[in-house]
Amino acid sequence: MQLPSPEEAPLSEEELAPADPPPPSEAKLKWGRERGPGAPGDGLVARLGPPTPELAGLHNRRPVLESRVSPEDLQPTRVPLETQIEQISFVALDCETTGHFPDRMVELGAVRFKLAADGEPADGRLLFETLVHTTDHINPYARRVHGITRSMLTGTPSPRTVANAFQDFARGAIMVEHSADSFDTRLVSKAMNRPMPHHHLDTSRIAGFLFQLRDTIGLERLCERLGVTHRQPHFALADAEATADCFGALVKLGQKEFGWRTLGDLVLVGMPPSPRPTIPPGHRAVNASTTPTADGSVPRRRRHRAGRRHRPASNTTIGSAEQAES
């Protein structure tokens, strides 16, 4: 080992002090995990914001945030199928999730709008955007796609608060989403613990019917095909805006080619099937071949334990064995 020469000056106290640790944002994550978020908040927290200053006053309006309505008022009636398209209010929504089963909502964006008689968008859009609190782990791949980390969810509202505010925002409207299996609607319904009493339409199904597609088309490809501007992919509000614009363009094409005029025409083409009913914990799905009883109920099949079954000998078997021995 080479000793330091006496000509070298001694190190100062600043040089001898330990180096400062890196900030938490630059620290390397272990196994793709992050620290858990803090407590949830009460107000909606936006991530993207409105596209123009003119819509800033309609973005997360205070009456929506401060509304305190009873559960009975949050149950709108279904819109009749014979209602004209220009008389209907639509709400296009999109959700960003944790990216693994069971999916947890981390962001919700929605646009409330109307269409004119010729299919063009009418004035008076309303915007809804917020991050959603969750303590679940966010999948690293999903985090790279939408850019939402658990540290961003500190102080964001709980799923129940977001769901109640959104149901007030979407009262009496028809849901529009770009999801063939009603993924976004099911997430909101799960947060409310009850199904949403709305018709819901899928833009990918409508596009598949109009363009004779054999596979589901993505939102970005649909925007390119229809010439719709998508300002920020994988942001909930931007995806909802693009879904609303694509829906208006598809309805306009359907009016020209097939004469769509009412809600029934849209439901016939673009409504996804209802999700499968979930089986409560501790119950098994009954085989369809089971014969129902007299009262109409289907009996549950008896569950047998695995392995060899040892049955106790009956009295007749014991008596016959004693007679044989005598």
What is the structure's pLDDT at 76?
53
What are the C-alpha distances in Å from 75 to residues 158, 171, 262, 264, 279?
Answer: 21, 8, 23, 21, 25
What is the structure's pLDDT at 283?
53
Q: Answer whether 198's CB lies under 8 Å from 173's CB.
A: yes
pLDDT above 50: residue 3: no
Dump pLDDT digits (tens) for 143-187: 999 999 999 999 999 999 998 899 889 888 999 999 988 899 999
According to DSSP, the β-strands at 174-177 and 89-97 are parallel
pLDDT above 50: residue 16: no
pLDDT above 70: residue 292: no
- According to the per-residue pLDDT averaged within each range, which of 20-24, 71-75, 271-275 is highest? 271-275
Fold of 36-63+79-270: Nucleotidyltransferase; domain 5 (3.30.420)
Q: Each residue of 113-151: b (16+ CB within 10 Å) or e?
A: bbbeeebebeeebbbbbbbbbbebbbeeebbeebebebe
Dump pLDDT digits (tens) for 301-313: 555 555 555 555 5
- Mean pLDDT for 207-222 is 94
Domain boundaries, the chain: 36-63+79-270
pLDDT above 80: residue 74: no
Dump pLDDT digits (tens) for 257-269: 999 999 999 999 9
Query: Would you place residue 220 in the very low, low, confident or very high pLDDT band (cuts 50, 70, 90)?
Result: very high
Q: Which helix (H) or strand (E) holds 35?
A: none
**Cβ atoms within 10 Å, residue 6:** 5
pLDDT above 60: residue 316: no
Q: Is 227 exposed, middle or buried (0-12, 13-18, 19+ CB in 10 A)?
A: exposed
In terms of pLDDT, which residue wins out, 96 or 22? 96
Q: What is the 3-state secondary structure (H, E, C) of 198-230?
A: CCEEEHHHHHHHHHCCCCCCCHHHHHHHHCCCC
pLDDT above 90: residue 5: no
What is the structure's pLDDT at 248?
96
Give the integer Cα–Cα distance in Å for 260 and 250.
11
pLDDT above 80: residue 280: no
What's the chain's Rg over C-alpha atoms? 30
Q: Which of 213, 211, 217, 152 is nearest to 180 (CA)?
A: 217
What is the structure's pLDDT at 281?
54
What is the structure's pLDDT at 253?
96
Instruction: Read off the DSSP letter of residue 92.
Output: E
pLDDT above 50: residue 288: no
